[in-house]
Structure 1
């Protein structure tokens, strides 16, 4: 038995993206554990969590709203990585790699949301 959301490519991709962000955030300084590290981890987890939660709703409009929350969480993750780069926690190459994945995920989520009426 599968849940409906487990079949969604955006959920699968957001799960993988979340694990990559979690691993990368392990390199942040210990003094950030309750600040930027915690924030980025909560935001990246919210992407997949909102897709899953929205898929169990009673309407496509409700699902669309939760998918929108996922996009907002993704924007938060990208902003956290800008902060991490500015603070010297990640290099330009790591930033560009995660940024591209975030951009591709954003486009996929937005395209999926557009199918929900």
Structure 2
């Protein structure tokens, strides 16, 4: 297992970033009337997964804050899945692309839950005197 020094070293961050960029590129084809609605919402939530992970990483000396930011990241990933549902229902995505992205976010969610459950492995240990 490679040493994880930065949030960008986390596989979950890498998957979330890659997925957010995929969504960004896909949403370029959404209708212009969705610019301030669905397009904006799905881009924001997908990017927020990464943003909250970066914040969590910097707050890992405080266990509760670390876990809280991971939970925020989970919420953003689930919100992204919600917007994917709308994009499919509006016929902005085909079924195959939808399924691939939805599965990616299921994997991201599973990794975030594992990080939260195993928070002691990632947070700074309290020093006893």
TM-score w.r.t. length of structure 1: 0.92
Larger relative helix fraction: 1
SS at match of 1:40: helix
Q: Which residue of 1 aligns with 2:71?
A: 68
The size of the alignment, in residue pairs, is: 116
Structure 2 distance, partners of 1:11, 1:84, is: 24
- 4+ residue runs of structure 1 moved beyond 3 angstroms? none
Structure 2 distance, partners of 1:60, 1:103, is: 24
Q: What is the alpha-carbon root mean square deviation over aligned residues?
A: 1.4
Partner deviation per Cα, 1:62-86 (whole Å, 9 max, x = no partner): 1111010000001110000101111
1:47-86 to structure 2, matched below 5 A, reads 47-57=49-59, 58-86=61-89
Structure 2 unaligned residues grouped into runs of 5+: 121-129
1:1-117 to structure 2, matched below 5 A, reads 4-57=6-59, 58-117=61-120
Q: Is the contact between residue 48 and residue 70 of structure 1 (CA under 8 Å) also seen in structure 2?
A: yes
Structure 2 distance, partners of 1:84, 1:68, is: 24
Structure 2 distance, partners of 1:90, 1:56, is: 35
